[in-house]
Amino acid sequence: MLHFLLVLCLIPAQVAKPSAELQIEIKQLHMCCDGCADEVEAILKKAEGLSQVKVTRRSRTAVFVASSAESAQRAVDALAADGFHGNINDKSISFRNDSGVTKGKVTSLTVMGFHNTCPGCVKSFRAALKKVPGVTGDDCKPNVTTCTIKGSFEAAAVIEALNKEGFHAKVKN
């Protein structure tokens, strides 16, 4: 009997290990003003499984500790749902490519869902569009999250430029 108990003690227990915490840094988020930064911070502080949230407007960066990859992804998804986009230091976490954009040249493209609460947001939005060859104008206004872009340009290039500027946008069908 003693021999049996000794053998049992040597068999490792099959206990589920908790997921390792992840230090996540998101760069290039759109944060033109304190209001944008406050919104990013509020989204992250409300997300379940996150701690040590720090948002820095000047560097357009958000840093947090996630209790799991799932918690980190849910937080990123929440940022995207509010129209924010950025570059994440962990390749297992990402902003989903859910823009609905198709490749090809267009003369008009309506985008929606991007973060846009003030004149600074509009200025940043337009700065992104200036990087897209063929864009000639837009009807973007503060506090309106749907905008039509005009010209003769690659639709996917607009989404890419907006993402690089920190905006998560979807194409309106």
The predicted model scores a pTM of: 0.87
Residue 120 within a domain:
yes
Of the residues 88, 113, 133, which one is the last residue of a structural domain?
88
Residue 95 within a domain:
no
Residue 100 within a domain:
no
Query: Which single residue is written with the structure tokens 């760069």?
Result: 27
Which helix (H) or strand (E) segment is 123 a member of?
A: helix 119-129
Q: Do the Cβ atoms of 121 and 37 come closer than 8 Å?
A: no
Same-domain status, 167 and 112: yes
Q: pLDDT grade, residue 8 (50/70/90)?
A: very low
Tens digit of each residue's pLDDT (9 = 90 or more) over 98-122: 999 999 999 999 999 999 999 999 9
Residue 96 within a domain:
no
More confident residue, 65 or 2: 65
Amino acid, res. 50: L
d(CA 55, CA 92): 21
Beta-strand relationship, 146-154 and 105-112: antiparallel
Q: Which of 4-13, 70-79, 117-126 has the lowest mean pLDDT?
A: 4-13
Residue 115 within a domain:
yes
- Assign residue 161 the CATH number of its domain: 3.30.70.100
Of the residues 58, 88, 118, which one is the last residue of a structural domain?
88
Would you list the DSSP string of 88-101? Answer: ES-TTS--------
Same-domain status, 84 and 119: no
Structural domain boundaries, residue 155: 105-171
Q: Do the Cβ atoms of 99 and 113 come closer than 8 Å?
A: no
